[in-house]
Structures are given as structure tokens and as C-alpha cells.
Chains A and B, each alone.
Chain A
Amino acid sequence: MLLAAGPFIPQWAIFIITIAFAKGLVALGLMLLLRAGLISFGQALYYCLGAYAAGALGRFMGISDVLAQMLAGALVAGFAAFILGFLLAKYRGIFFGLLSLALSMILYGLLVKNEALGSTDGFNILPSTLFGVRPGPEWVRYAVLASAAIVSLLLALAVHRYLATPLGRLAPAIKDNEIRVEYMGASARRAVHVKYVIAAVLAGVGGALAATTVGHIDPEMAFWTTSGEFIFITILAGTGSVVAPFAGALIYGVIHTTAYDLSPNTWQMSLGLALLLIIVFLPEGLWSMFRRRYARHP
């Protein structure tokens, strides 16, 4: 539906929707972790890694294919998470959050001082291509949006399937009582490790997508405020469904744009208020409003 309507959507809206897909992917990964009761304050690490992997592909190898960029982002982020996961899978609660925060700030610290990668300014990304074809200027954004939509759909379906597997179903159990999970014969540590890698892959794809959409990357993508943004989207959306993070990211994009438009100096305040209200009144996220309605009218 979105693909068919694509040519008629104004360019600025295409931009917002594509970014929403990118951030939705990151939030989808955070949702997996949140279902296990883990909040990562450093998901920007993988978002930024994905973006820089996509950027490096163009800068050093001259490849700017959207799908190749997303693949590169996924591989780099997934590999990093696989290694770091051995360490992080042991941690729970506040310590998981703080350690992931430290790791993302390490990347930030490295990138800020790296001349070859443009230090604080970052660098520009080559115009996107798709299967070796460079679409005309008015079609570039549409092409990126279409690939974003298809990749997000496939990944969301994969995550949906994963949630139904025994490993996926362990998440709420780990949140509730980890010792019982161990007594059941399952390894909570392994389950968390797997989730962590999946979340990182999703964030890597999201980062690559954001990089090619914006056309520019900088170390700010690894700063803790970026992670805060993703957590905001995840909390906003709730953990009810794989569609929720994308809806959350779109709502976030719309709140952000409108608030910024109305008063550039108070958009953070609107976000803060929204976050506060959701935590207090809708702890399960916006998605839970739908579920409650279904429950009332079966």
C-alpha cells in the first residue's frame, strides 16, 4: 500500500517515514531486550556502527547500494554484538544499562577524535543506488523508502517468528524469574546473548538506512542522547507487537517534527512530558490501548 502510494507522498514526508523505519528497526531490537526486562542505554552503539559501516563502504570501496549498505551495517553490528554479548549477557537491570552506555560512549570517544573518519563533523555519504542503478533525483528517496519498507517488513516478520520460538518465549520468563528459567533447563545467558545480537543487527540495519537517507553521518549517532531517543520510542510503542516499534517511531517522528515546528526551543519538553505521561498512565505503551479495546469486545 505504502509502495503504491509512494510516488504521491511529498518528499519531506518520505524522509520522515524512511527515518521512522530506520528508528523503528532499532526500537524493534530494544523491544526484544525490553521483553526480557533489559533496557540498553547504548543501542546507539550499533546504530552508529551500522551507519559508519554503510559510510565506509561508500568512502573506501565506492559502493553505495542501499541493500549492500544495510547488509554491511547488519554484519558489522552483529559481529560486534556477538563479541560484546559474552560480557553483557551476564548483566541485568541497571548494570546492563550502564555497561551498554559505557560501550557506546567508547565508540563516541573514538569517532570524535578520528581524523580519517571526519572526527566530530563526520562525513557525507554517496547518493544511494539500488542494484547498481542510480535512480533520478526525484526517485532516490522513493527507492530508499521502498527498500526500507521491504527490508523492515521482512525483518519484522522474522522477529515475529522468533518471538513464537521457545527461545523467543523465554524473554518474559527471564524478566519474571530467572532462576526458574535455569531450573527449566534453559540458559538465560544464552537467550539474552541471542537477543542482544538480534537487537544489534536490527540497529545496524537501521543505522545504515538512516545514513543513506540523511546522506551524512557523525559521531553524535553514538552519543547517549541518541540511545535515549530509541528508548523513548520503545517505551512509547510498548512491547505488544512487532508493528508497535514502527508505529512508535512514526509517532515520534511526527511529535518531533510538529513540536520542533511549533516551538524549536521546547520540543524536548514535549517529548519529556509525553514520556512521563506514558510511563505513568500507559506502562505497556501506546500499543496496549488497542489490546485493551480488543479485550473488551471479543
Chain B
Amino acid sequence: MNQLLSVGVDGLIYSAWLFTAALGLTLIYGVMKIVNVTHGSFYALGAYAAASLTGAWLARGYPPMLSYLVLFAAALVVAVLVAPLIERGILRFMYAKDEVVILLITYALFLILEDVIKLVWGVNPYFIAEPYALLGSFTVGGLAYPTYNLLLIALALVSGLGLTWFLRGTRVGKLLLAVIHDPEISRAMGINVNRYYLVTFTFGSLLAALAGAFMAPTVSVVPGLGVEIIVLSFAVVVIGGLGSLPGAALGALIVGLVRSISVHYMPEVELFVIYFVMAMVLAFRPRGLFSLAEPRKI
């Protein structure tokens, strides 16, 4: 019983982190129809920026409780500085191209950003463990978990619910839904589609950077973070259905639970099962579990 409980808690924590990381990917795909490999770079950028800023913050002896705000600020800085540069500077000239070609372009940008990260931060690992340990721990079924994990779950809930509320409940969100359904008609109706693309790309990248920043205290920040997270995020959004928010939540839950079950009971299949689920979903419901019927366009 206790093991089942810890499987559930582990899975939930992992899902929360995955969801935050993948949410921006599905948002950007949903709005702009871009499968954005650069997403992984923003995750890594967020983690590195968080490591440096929080490190500097703590080194100066500022109150450690506020370091959580610093994590947030780090992600914000990265997203606001880099995302518009990429969207305005490069991507906006590419929207006319094929989906797969845009994927390749974001892959090229991903390669470039990987090395930008190495140039700025070097190749040595960074550690910022203080925010992780600071909140103490809680006990579930006899096992202690750092309370920091609750913060990850809260972050996932706030970003997921917040985005859903934004899309359904606000005027701007509804306009964005119109852009998703038909960018051309929206443009004809006087919606500034380019601005929506810019904001969506920045906000989606912010979510990736946030996931990276809040993950930074729990791991060592090393080169190659982005490479790992991007295919996991692909798995999550593909399982749920590209461009679907509830789909991303379901995909994250499935991947998180499947992984924690395998880690607890059959550690040798940990990676295999994740991609096996992804392949199965693609095989039987290629558009994901939360897909809507889509008319075939010729």
C-alpha cells in the first residue's frame, strides 16, 4: 500500500514538472502550428538563468525565502529577452513554409542556442540546492518528500488553470481562439495576428523557462538539459494531442505515472515505456487522446 502511495506521489510530482514544461509547447503548436524544438533551449536557458541569479542572490545574503521570486524573475528575463528576438527576428519570415520545414528551422535555432548557453555559462555544472531544502519536508506513507515539490505542483496547476481561464474567460483569450481557428479570417476581422503570435511565442517560452528555473534547484544544471526535455515534452503533447491543453495535462499524468510505476517495479524499462506509450497513441489515435475531428484539407 505504501509503495502504491509513493508511486502515486512520485508520479504526480514528475507529471507536474512535465506539464509545466510541455504546456508551452502545446500552446505554441495550437496557435502557430509550429512544432517548436527551441522549447528545449528555453527550458535550459531558464535553468541556467535561475542558477546564476539565485546563486548571486544567496551569495549576497539577501533573504533566502525570496529566492523563489528570483527563480520566477530569471525565467521572465530569459523569455522576454530571447523569445521576441527569435520570433520577430527569424520565425515570422518562415510562417509561409511547410510545418516540417519550420520544425527544421527551430531545430537549427536549438543547435545555435545550445552553444550560446555554453558560451555564456561554460560547461561546468551549477548547483543551487538552497531553495530545494529551505521549505522542509512533508511525509506521505512514511516517506519524506521535500515540500518544494508542492511548489512544482502548484506551479503546474496555476499555469494550467490560469491559461484555461485566460482562453475561455477573457476577451483577449477568445480573440486568440479565433486566431487559432482561422488566422486569415481573424486578420480580415481586424485582429493583429502577428502580435498574437509574438505574445503566444513569448508566453509559451516563458512556461518552458519557468519549468527549467523551478527544476534547477533539484538537479545539477549541466549542458544537454534541453536535449532531454524536448523529446519528453514531445511525448507528452503527442499523447494528449498536439495543441490541446487538457491533452497536455492527461499526457503529463500518463507519462508521469507510467514512469514512476516502472521506476518502482521495473526500473529497466523506464525510458522504453514512455516512448512505447507515445508510439501506441500515435498508432491508434495519431492526433492524440484529446483530438477533435479535423476535416481533410486537400
Do A and B come together as binding partners? yes
Identify which of A101, A109, A225, A265 contacts B115 (C-beta below 8 A).
Answer: A265
Would you call A58 an interface residue if the criterion is a C-beta within 8 Å of the partner chain's C-beta atoms? Answer: no
Contact call B271/A269, Cβ cutoff below 8 A: no
Q: Which of B90, B268, B269, B282 has the most CB of A within 10 A?
A: B282
Contact call A275/B111, Cβ cutoff below 8 A: yes
Contact call A98/B111, Cβ cutoff below 8 A: no
Contact call A272/B272, Cβ cutoff below 8 A: no
Would you call B154 an interface residue if the criterion is a C-beta within 8 Å of the partner chain's C-beta atoms? Answer: no
With contact pairs A113-B271, A265-B119 given, residues A272 and B283 touching in the complex (Cβ less than 8 Å): no
The chain A residue sitting closest to B287, CB to CB, is: A95
Identify which of A97, A112, A225, A272 contacts B108 (C-beta below 8 A).
Answer: A272
On chain B, the residues within 8 Å of A179 by CB distance are 298
Contact call B231/A105, Cβ cutoff below 8 A: yes
A contact residues, range:
35 or more
Cα A109 to Cα B269 with chains together (Å):
7
Cα A74 to Cα B119 with chains together (Å):
41
Contact call A94/B99, Cβ cutoff below 8 A: yes
B251-280 near A? 1/0 per residue, CB < 8 Å: 000000000000000011111111110110
Would you call A254 an interface residue if the criterion is a C-beta within 8 Å of the partner chain's C-beta atoms? Answer: no
Would you call B168 an interface residue if the criterion is a C-beta within 8 Å of the partner chain's C-beta atoms? Answer: no
B112-146 near A? 1/0 per residue, CB < 8 Å: 10111011000100000000000000000000000
On chain B, the residues within 8 Å of A279 by CB distance are 101, 104-105, 108
Q: How far is the CB of A149 from chain B (nearest CB, A)?
A: 30
Identify which of A87, A108, A283 contacts B271 (C-beta below 8 A).
Answer: A108
Contact call A269/B112, Cβ cutoff below 8 A: yes
The chain A residue sitting closest to B269, CB to CB, is: A113
Interface SS of B by simple majority: helix
Contact call A113/B105, Cβ cutoff below 8 A: no
Contact call A93/B99, Cβ cutoff below 8 A: yes
Would you call A99 an interface residue if the criterion is a C-beta within 8 Å of the partner chain's C-beta atoms? Answer: yes
Contact call B286/A95, Cβ cutoff below 8 A: yes
Cα A110 to Cα B271 with chains together (Å):
7
Would you call B110 an interface residue if the criterion is a C-beta within 8 Å of the partner chain's C-beta atoms? Answer: yes
B contact residues, range:
35 or more
Cα A154 to Cα B298 with chains together (Å):
39
Contact call B279/A273, Cβ cutoff below 8 A: no
On chain A, the residues within 8 Å of B104 by CB distance are 39, 231, 235, 275, 279
Would you call A267 an interface residue if the criterion is a C-beta within 8 Å of the partner chain's C-beta atoms? Answer: yes
Contact call B115/A269, Cβ cutoff below 8 A: yes
Cα A87 to Cα B283 with chains together (Å):
7
With contact pairs A269-B111, A273-B108 given, residues A99 and B100 touching in the complex (Cβ less than 8 Å): no
With contact pairs A95-B286, A269-B116 given, residues A106 and B109 touching in the complex (Cβ less than 8 Å): no
On chain A, the residues within 8 Å of B108 by CB distance are 271-273, 275-276, 279
Would you call B213 an interface residue if the criterion is a C-beta within 8 Å of the partner chain's C-beta atoms? Answer: no
Q: How far is the CB of B288 from chain A (nearest CB, A)?
A: 10
On chain A, the residues within 8 Å of B93 by CB distance are 280
Cα A266 to Cα B223 with chains together (Å):
13
Cα A94 to Cα B99 with chains together (Å):
7
The chain A residue sitting closest to B230, CB to CB, is: A224
With contact pairs A101-B231, A225-B227 given, residues A110 and B272 touching in the complex (Cβ less than 8 Å): yes
The chain B residue sitting closest to A99, CB to CB, is: B282
The chain A residue sitting closest to B296, CB to CB, is: A179
Cα A39 to Cα B267 with chains together (Å):
33
On chain A, the residues within 8 Å of B215 by CB distance are none
Contact call A112/B115, Cβ cutoff below 8 A: no
Would you call B197 an interface residue if the criterion is a C-beta within 8 Å of the partner chain's C-beta atoms? Answer: no
The chain A residue sitting closest to B286, CB to CB, is: A95
B224-238 near A? 1/0 per residue, CB < 8 Å: 000100010011001
Cα A101 to Cα B233 with chains together (Å):
13
Contact call A272/B282, Cβ cutoff below 8 A: no
Write the residues of chain B forming the contact surface with A, with a CB cutoff of 8 angstroms: 35, 90, 93, 99-101, 103-105, 107-112, 114-116, 118-119, 123, 227, 231, 234-235, 238, 242, 267-276, 278-279, 282-283, 286-287, 298
Which 5 A-B pairs have CB atoms at the shortest separation, nearest pair first? A109-B271, A272-B111, A109-B272, A269-B115, A272-B112
Write the residues of chain A forming the contact surface with B, with a CB cutoff of 8 angstroms: 39, 87, 91, 93-95, 97-99, 101-103, 105-106, 108-110, 112-114, 177, 179, 224-225, 228, 231, 235, 265-269, 271-273, 275-276, 279-280, 283
A-B contacts, 8 of them at CB < 8 A, read A99-B279, A102-B282, A103-B279, A106-B275, A108-B275, A109-B269, A265-B118, A279-B101
